[in-house]
Amino acid sequence: MVRLISMEQTTDRNLNPRGPMKPLCIGGVELRSRVIPAPMCNVSDRAYRGLARRMGADLVFTQMISSEGLTRNDEGTRRILDIEGEEPPVAVQMLGSNPQVLAKAAQILEAEGAAIIDLNMGCPARKVTGNDCGSALMRNPTLVAEIVRTISKAIKVPFTVKMRAGWNDKDISAIELARICEGEGAQAVSLHGRTREQGYKGEADWSLIARMKETLTVPVIGNGDVTSPADAVRMIRETGCDGVMIGRGLIGNPWLQRACEAAMQDYQEGRIADESAVPGDDLVEIENDDGLATIRVPYYMREVSIDERLNLIIEHTKMMVESKGEHRGVMEMRKHSQQYIKGIPGGKTLRQKLMKVEKFEDIGALLAEYRDYLAQRGAQQRAHSLEMERLTAAGE
């Protein structure tokens, strides 16, 4: 049903122990993991953060939260925040451009249990930059200095910033701005190495992360285009950054979190020389209802059973339904579940069916049906193998 065709080979040369991995410490907050799930709108909700923790994440981010909405006690903003009673440490990311409003919002967040408060200086969306927020702040260093100073003075928990490379390729301001932020009290900087103009196109420039690491004394978190454990190792090797932040690569693939952590530890502790020693993808032949397909599956998924994936769909949806209600929870499950079932036999049909489900209980029923289908195919295959053995023994 599923056949491994090839595995990428790895090399193991020039081992050079760099010593045990030190914990990442932001302000006074010591973190057990250096792999940090990135803040993502409509993704990094409470359920997502919970699953990321289970896969080994320590610091988790909320998506950006409007400082104006928070200070007005806006109901929608409060619903998005949703950190009450959550296992710490949670970093809450704020959006805004008014220093006083941001400082007030930071105090509210501190009182509500945020372990770290972060400022969004990277969002490229027009409706955000049009209000001088997100990446538009990168064009106004004087305002950034005032914002960071005001917030840092207003709270006791660490304050951090997340930025892009700059506005466009003619205005690469990240290094200068990071220096200003550190000078005014920021305790860490995350850098997504793309400009605002790039959006999500092209490649993230990791050389900027390396330059920022050389410039600052506070931790630098590298971000952009890490989609495999080998990428994570390459990022720390090339840039020396203190932590690796992953966005899109983790959507529907929470297993990437612990695989990156393990590979980074192997590198740090000298068990592998560089990213070339990290396995790549397996080429796997799977049987779908319309025939055989060859697909690439990351090596770390060898240890993840189909059962674990199916259970995660149920559990993730249940968590979303609990925090957002049945309709939204089930609709939002769709974008995650597509990845959860990537590379399983009959996955194409299951995917199509999952896209139509509207009720939580229907997901359970659908997955039970899929389990029956797997069992039946397993039985058919076993019967086929026995028949082949019988025929071979009979010399037919």
* Identity of the residue, 228 or 347, whose beta carbon is nearer to ligand FMN in the bound complex: 228
Residue 103 in the binding site for ligand FMN (CB under 6 A): no
Among 77, 93, 135, 195, binds ligand FMN (CB under 6 A): 93
Among 166, 229, 249, 343, binds ligand FMN (CB under 6 A): 249
* Identity of the residue, 122 or 345, whose beta carbon is nearer to ligand FMN in the bound complex: 122
Site for ligand FMN in 349-388 (CB under 6 A): none
* Identity of the residue, 135 or 350, whose beta carbon is nearer to ligand FMN in the bound complex: 135
Catalytic hit among 25, 41, 123, 241: 123
Among 24, 38, 92, 260, binds ligand FMN (CB under 6 A): 38
Residue 63 in the binding site for ligand FMN (CB under 6 A): yes
Question: If you ran DSSP here, which 8-state letter would residue 93 be given?
Answer: E
Half-sphere exposure of 185 toward its Cβ, with a 13 Å CA cutoff? 19
Site for ligand FMN in 267-296 (CB under 6 A): none
Residue 43 in the binding site for ligand FMN (CB under 6 A): yes
* Identity of the residue, 197 or 269, whose beta carbon is nearer to ligand FMN in the bound complex: 197
Q: In terms of DSSP H, where are the helices of the chain?
A: 46-54, 67-71, 75-81, 99-111, 126-129, 141-154, 174-183, 206-215, 229-239, 255-268, 306-324, 326-340, 347-354, 360-393
Residue 231 in the binding site for ligand FMN (CB under 6 A): no
The pair phi, psi for residue 191, each rounded to 5°, is: -125, 120
Residue 120 in the binding site for ligand FMN (CB under 6 A): yes
Stated length of the chain: 396
Residue 68 in the binding site for ligand FMN (CB under 6 A): no
Q: Give 175-181's long-range contacts (Cβ < 8 A, gap of 24+).
A: 175/208, 175/211, 175/212, 175/215, 176/141, 177/121, 177/138, 177/141, 177/144, 178/212, 178/215, 178/216, 178/220, 179/215, 179/216, 180/141, 180/144, 180/145, 180/148, 181/144, 181/148
Least distance from ligand FMN to the Cβ atom of residue 89, Å: 17
Report the DSSP beta bridge partners of residue 163. Answer: 121, 191
Among 224, 279, 298, 347, binds ligand FMN (CB under 6 A): 224
Residue 135 in the binding site for ligand FMN (CB under 6 A): no
Structure tokens at 293: 């397909």
Residue 34 in the binding site for ligand FMN (CB under 6 A): no
Task: Indicate if 181 belongs to the active site.
Answer: no
Give the list of residues 6+ apart from residue 184 with CB closer than 8 angstroms, or none: 145, 148, 149, 152
Can you tell me the distance from the alpha carbon of 295 to that of 283, in angstroms, rounded to the nearest whole number?
6
Least distance from ligand FMN to the Cβ atom of residue 43, Å: 5
Total binding residues toward ligand FMN, as defined by CB under 6 A: 21
Quick check: 131 and 137 in contact, CB under 8 A?
Answer: no
Least distance from ligand FMN to the Cβ atom of residue 162, Å: 5
Catalytic residues: 123
Residues in touch with ligand FMN (CB under 6 A):
38-41, 43, 63-64, 93, 120, 122-123, 162, 192, 223-226, 246-249
